[in-house]
Structure 1
Amino acid sequence: MATPTWNLYAFCYGRHENRLMSDTFIGGNPNEICRGLDYFMWAVVNGDRAIVIDTGMTQDKVQSMNRTWLADPVDLLGKVGIDAEQVDEVILTHAHFDHVGNLHRFPKATFTIQDLEMQSITGRDMTHPFFRTAYHQDDVEELVGLLYDNRLKFIHGDGSYAPGLDYHLIGGHSRGQMGLTVNTERGPVFLASDAIHLFKEVDEELPFIVFYDMAEMLEGYRTCARLAGDRAFLVPGHDPLVTDVYPAARPGLEGLVLDLGQAPKAA
């Protein structure tokens, strides 16, 4: 039987333009500027089954951090026919604040996270201020609440979430950072999430400034590249180039709702 294919969408909800290289990469030049970061959440759809991947960030948090708010990511789901209030499944690639906002807006969903990520954010790791930087207490408390409501599921390592949708524990950026291989009509696409923020991390092995384990993060860049097989099938978690090269899911959604199941144009 042929492996099912999924539609894969990215929803670009925020932007941080013109970041200093030194604010982006370890050892980055403080006199140079990179384009910055785009903020995404994602979803995969196969027939009537829709799985949301991460839940973005709320508008107040985006603006409090002096980022540009582009659109409500949960509202953008509706542009491809996904009703957040009816979503049953959400995969959390990790629990940094820009990936686990809006949990409350998926009232019927069960959330899936790596064991190691939940252990990290509720255990000894969080006694170190450095590791707390990218987590917000209210988000962690909400995840614990979901656990006690029997709406949080755990996975460990690598495996198959559903036919045509595999997960891979990469680590590095966070203890339980994972990426996903999504079988699309054009072939398997590797959604790195924040295992890779920007293509530069793979192209030049530049370490991102936020990390849990430096060696694991650097090895993770190579793992992600291997799993993708080709740059055209690799989707970093924050690269504005993704917004540049992928077509809109439909006219009028350019730069907001991207169809990652279509081939990217040359950058």
Structure 2
Amino acid sequence: MSKFDIERFCANIQKHKITFAYVVPPVILLLGKHPVVDKYDLSSLRMMNSGAAPLTPELVEAVYKRLNVPIKQGYGLSETSPTTHTQPWEEWDKTIGSVGRLLPNQTAKYMSSEEKEVPVGEVGELWIKGPNVFLGYHNNPEGTKNALTEDGYFKTGDVGYQDKDGNFYITDRVKELIKYKGFQVAPAELEGLLISHPKINDVAVVGVYNKEQATEVPRAYIVPVPGVEASQATADDIMVWLHGKIANHKRLRGGVRFVDEVPKSASGKILRRVLKVRAQEEQERGQKAKL
């Protein structure tokens, strides 16, 4: 396909009896929520592999419940040639949400903001070392210096943790973490919970600065399911539902905004900078209105 279209995607699977598909989280989202999927026979699919952005357990479980198709994940970056982790097929349902185990000839560790290795189960930035790691950025010595340690580890910029069985989890990007009064809030975690709400078709969470509290607060930009009213009552209902599932510091203190679509790159990554610009413009309009 010259570009992605959910109906053509499903039609091609049905017509050609596709057995394996490489996908990104927005495709998984559509397979779990879009009504057109029910028109097609996707029973030839034996497995899907997701990459490019974090995939939450809620999305995996929703699609499996609807289509009975297992979904496994992998992980890697251009700087690592690219794949560094993958889930074994037979373990997809035992470690849902994991990007799998480290592939051979590499070492990896999760590091704190003070650049100290954190123990198993604790969250940190993933560092990777191996013959697959790049030598540096072309004509960018400063970027290379910031990305590579003296002993050869590449700082991925991705946040996550490792379990006791050696399964790795990626929860968000270091730069995308919301800093609320000293606490770190991962947008992808909140998005994973919100997308399972029956009134939500798509969602993105960003941090917006709150002058009164002198800190960032999480705000959700939500695409409602067709027919659902984009009202304050709907927003309140969603927030009450979410707040019953999360710690106090993760609450949507920046509120809910309804949008027609969530801006994303071709690979499915949420373009949070676009939403941050929108939030800034909303804030400036609000200030002018008060004047």
Mark the structure with the bigger radius of gyration.
2
Give the TM-score taking structure 1 as reference length. 0.31
